[in-house]
Amino acid sequence: MNKCINLVNPVLEFQFPKTASAVIVGGGVAGLSVAYHLSKLGWQDIILLERKQIASGTTWHAAGLVRSNIGSATLTRIAKEAQPLFSELEAATGQITGFKQNGSLGIANNTARWEEHRRAYSFAHAMGVEAHLIDAREAGRHWPFLETSDLLGALWYPHDGQVNPLDFAQALAKGARQNGVQIIEGVKVTAIRSTRGRVTGVKTTEGEIESPIVVNAAGMWAHEFARLADIPVPVQACEHFYVVTEPVEGLPSTLPVLRDMDGCAYYKEDAGKLLIGAFEPKAKPWGLEGIPDEFCFDELPEDFDHFQPILEQAMRRVPILEKIGIRKFFNGPEGFTPDQRYYLGETAELLGFYVLAGFNSIGIQSGGGAGKALAEWIDCGEMPFDLTAVDAQRALHHETKPSFLIPRVSEALGLLYAMHWPGREFETSRNVVLSPLHNETEEAGAVYGAVSGKERPNWYAKPGQKREYVYSYGRANWFENVALEHSATRRAVGLFDQSSFGKFLVKGRDAVSCLERLSTNSVSISPGRTIYTQWLNSRGGIEADLTVTRLEDEQFLVTTGAAVSKRDLTRLNRMAQSFERVTVKDVSNKFAVIGVMGPYARDFLQPITETSLDHSVFRFGASKLARVAGMICRLTRISYVGELGWEISCLADDAPKLWRALSADGQGFGAVPAGMYAMNTLRLEKGYRHWGHDISPEDNPFEAGLEYFLRLEKNVEFVGQSALMEKRELEPRRRLMAFRLDDPGPLLHGNEPIFIEGTCVGWLTSGGFGHSLGVSIGLGYASVVKLDGAYEIEIAGERFPAVGSLKPLYEPENPHLRA
Ligand SMILES: Cc1cc2nc3c(=O)[nH]c(=O)nc-3n(C[C@H](O)[C@H](O)[C@H](O)COP(=O)(O)OP(=O)(O)OC[C@H]3O[C@@H](n4cnc5c(N)ncnc54)[C@H](O)[C@@H]3O)c2cc1C
């Protein structure tokens, strides 16, 4: 029997609505937050539908931990919204949220974790989050029952705390209702209606509702719900555990939250008792046959054996636990995603269909800010700030398959408390999409990383070297390999497998007009030329960063990065729909791409290429069909590494033969296979921007130093042009600068704060080691640009002098580049 009351039916005069301005599906913290914030923006006729009762899914049983610094700029910015929201709601509704600002403490008992905390401390500076590094004694003062003898230190956030999730949800609901939102419980949405790629409404157990906006805030049901419209939202429920002890004598109600990540546990005070929650290394996916329809305020069965190892460690960390009984063993499901980040935003598959789900156990602390961000997105029709880290358009169909999703979330949940090493790769659910060159690169020693399911060589092991990642904040086991690939590319030739690129063929009489509307650069070029361009949003923010090659008068090839292929293709398709005579075809898998980059690229390629590569006839940006080693290829003279180079694309089937021919011919010129890690350090030295790190929908081309590629006077007005015209008259708020440390020792990985004269003026959006320069380098936006200024970059709590520059840190001095 359903233990929830259907609140619709008892109301006799209740008329089920037929239309709405927005339908929000799911009455957990996510859906309620969207409803509240959308109503605050002045939206009327919002309907929130909940299949059972508000908060009866995952929200009710959360531990309620609230923290601000979540390790990435986007996630932190969103989480920071929570605290002011609690006060705002209490003032607006009179409903208390139970927020206690007792602070939080992250402890470290090994050098790796201590470095992680020190780096997090520095990042907190950049994000404006108050944090303090404290010693073991002070940690003991904050947390009286803590075993501190083995601690190296702790990270203290005085403004973190805990909230009562049910009260928070009720406050959001009350606030939303006060603003006119209709919250209807006991109604399940059973179908998604759409016409010509746009959502038009929903079907429910009580009838149909027409609406141009539908929000999937269905928590761990989000996957199943989105599947009704064949939209991938890879969220999988996993069992999630905590125990609550018997009352603990002398436990202060002001006790901070404690995180012992190496003990896989967190602790909080809970009405005089201790609540101990687990992030065990290997989690248990749940609901594999689907979530039971009657699920409502439910708990899952205990699994003491699974929790036991965590509890044993907990007894060592908090010895009083040996003497205190467990009153409650709690097991409840939560939705997890393949990359540990939630989904927020409009889907690629259906206009007007938005998602906010898959919170990976941070829905209470993030739901407030995430709901606000989504409401603003719905309101203005575009990402309101840089939300690319959580963009729902990164979700792919293969990620929803159980064979991929189940092992991956089991790993992903555990990694939430594992070391957050730079460049950490998932180990499960790999080898989904192999490059046509996979066998060849594997033979050459490749060690792979996956982007959007595509396996790409990150670096190449030497013969006899183990192909494994030994992670570190310092020089990891691949450091020397990357140095070698990097310098081979600078001095001779590097061979890069770039087949993971997204490649889209745009054809038809309106192809030029369509691409001109999107591109800041002009695509009215002669066939056989390639341009580099950005695509903007209406505010002038950078939505895409790619190249366009004119193949024929009415035929273009758009080439973009693997991680952003889906969102760029969506943008292209949506623009193409407003033109009659243009078609777009995704040819990404049809062609392989080999980058041949380096000062000797020409000498190396010429003997096997049946066209002249001489600079006089094959200039930068030229793109030609020619036979290479007997195979028809397209050679495009372009480079992301700052050296002479060609990207050679050929049919996927021909690629192995081409790679072998290039590898064989490479011997005389010192050509070596090189991976994505080397490409990253090479592009950083040359100051090439990376979309998703250095440029985003929040950054405009003036701030990003990309004015050179703007054609503001071209015939067709491009999206974002009028916003840029206005921005052109203003001083940029900040500028993307390149930074190099003076000291060759420390390593930059990105996210480090930039200081000038003691003031934090930004943070690094990318960081790495410049092997040609012999020091760590990075790119980052600075609000104060002083070319002779005494910049400092803070790494793990220590500030290092740095030189800031608006120009690339490295320019090739190579005559071969110009010859
Ligand atoms: C043990 C545990 C501890 C946690 N601790 C914390 C913590 O300390 N801090 C923190 O930030 N987070 C924590 N979380 C995570 C947090 O609880 C979740 O991230 C958050 O509650 C998710 O909210 P939601 O709105 O996305 O999902 P839910 O609360 O599950 O809401 C989704 C709603 O959608 C409804 N629904 C689904 N399908 C339909 C449909 N077709 N039609 C109508 N309605 C539908 C469901 O009934 C449900 O009520 C914890 C989670 C667990 C399990």
Average pLDDT over residues 359-377: 98
For residues 560 and 687, give the distance between their C-alpha atoms in angstroms, rounded to a whole number. 18
Q: How far, in Å, from the CA of 366 to the mean position of ligand 1?
A: 12
- Whether residue 5 is predicted with pLDDT greater than 60 in this model: the reply is no
257-260 and 104-108 beta bridge pairing: parallel
Nearest one of 334, 367, 352, 335 to 234, comparing CA atoms: 335
Q: What is the pLDDT of residue 14?
A: 78
Q: How far, in Å, from the CA of 358 to the mean position of ligand 1?
A: 9
Determine the atom of ligand 1 nearest the C-alpha atom of 333. 53
Q: Ligand 1 within 6 A of 65 CB?
A: yes
Average pLDDT over residues 430-458: 98
| pLDDT interval class at 817 (50, 70, 90) | low
Q: Over pLDDT 90: what percentage of the chain? A: 95
Q: Ligand 1 within 6 A of 597 CB?
A: no
Q: Ligand 1 within 6 A of 369 CB?
A: no
Q: What is the pLDDT of residue 71?
A: 86
Q: How far, in Å, from the CA of 454 to the mean position of ligand 1?
A: 31
Q: What is the pLDDT of residue 2?
A: 37
- Whether residue 818 is predicted with pLDDT greater than 60 in this model: the reply is no
| Sign of torsion over alpha carbons 7, 9, 13, 15 | positive
Q: Ligand 1 within 6 A of 62 CB?
A: yes
| pLDDT interval class at 13 (50, 70, 90) | low
For residues 348 and 571, give the distance between their C-alpha atoms in angstroms, rounded to a whole number. 9
Q: Whose CA is nearest to atom 37 of ligand 1?
A: 218
Q: Whose CA is nearest to atom 33 of ligand 1?
A: 26
Q: Ligand 1 within 6 A of 63 CB?
A: yes
Q: Ligand 1 within 6 A of 278 CB?
A: no
| pLDDT interval class at 369 (50, 70, 90) | very high
Q: What is the pLDDT of residue 781?
A: 98
Residue 594 Cα distances to 18, 638, 777, 812, angstroms:
55, 12, 27, 21
CA dihedral 364, 370, 371, 375 (to 10 degrees): 180
SS3 assignment, position 704: coil
Q: Is 808 exposed, middle or buried (0-12, 13-18, 19+ CB in 10 A)?
A: middle
Q: What is the pLDDT of residue 10?
A: 53
Q: What is the pLDDT of residue 666?
A: 61
Q: How far, in Å, from the CA of 9 to the mean position of ligand 1?
A: 25
Q: Is 143 exposed, middle or buried (0-12, 13-18, 19+ CB in 10 A)?
A: buried
Q: Over pLDDT 70: what percentage of the chain? A: 97
Q: Over the stretch 41-55, which tens digit does the pLDDT of each residue have?
A: 999 999 999 999 999
Contact status, residue 744 vs residue 775, Cβ threshold 8 Å:
yes
| pLDDT interval class at 3 (50, 70, 90) | very low
Q: Over the stretch 133-151, which tens digit does the pLDDT of each residue have?
A: 999 999 999 999 999 999 9
Q: How far, in Å, from the CA of 57 to the mean position of ligand 1?
A: 5
Q: How far, in Å, from the CA of 206 to the mean position of ligand 1?
A: 23
Q: What is the pLDDT of residue 4?
A: 42
Q: What is the pLDDT of residue 585?
A: 98
Q: Ligand 1 within 6 A of 363 CB?
A: yes
Give one word for 10, left, alpha or beta, with left for phi > 0 and alpha for psi -120 to 50. Answer: alpha
**Beta strand spans in 442-499 (E):** 446-451, 454-460, 493-497
Q: Whose CA is nearest to atom 18 of ligand 1?
A: 363
For residues 160 and 318, give the distance between their C-alpha atoms in angstroms, rounded to a whole number. 21
Q: What is the pLDDT of residue 669?
A: 83
Q: Over the stretch 639-681, which tens digit does the pLDDT of each residue have?
A: 999 999 999 999 999 999 999 999 886 667 889 999 999 999 9
Q: How far, in Å, from the CA of 692 to the mean position of ligand 1?
A: 28
Q: What is the pLDDT of residue 813?
A: 75
DSSP element (H, E) containing 222: helix 222-227
Q: Ligand 1 within 6 A of 50 CB?
A: yes
Structure tokens at 596: 């041949």
Q: Whose CA is nearest to atom 51 of ligand 1?
A: 62
Write out 262-313 in H/E/C secondary structure.
Answer: HHCEEEEEECCEEEEEECCCCCCECCCCCCCCCCCCCCCCCCHHHHHHHHHH
| pLDDT interval class at 819 (50, 70, 90) | very low
Q: How far, in Å, from the CA of 29 to the mean position of ligand 1?
A: 7
Model-wide pTM > 0.75: yes
Average pLDDT over residues 534-539: 98
Place of tokens 């398709």: 573
Q: Ligand 1 within 6 A of 359 CB?
A: yes
Q: What is the pLDDT of residue 723?
A: 97
Q: What is the pLDDT of residue 103?
A: 98
Q: Ligand 1 within 6 A of 332 CB?
A: yes
- CA–CA–CA angle 363, 364, 368 (5° rounding): 90
Q: Over the stretch 373-423, which tens digit does the pLDDT of each residue have?
A: 999 999 999 999 999 999 999 999 999 999 999 999 999 999 999 999 999
| pLDDT interval class at 693 (50, 70, 90) | very high
| Residue of higher predicted confidence among 105 and 731 | 105
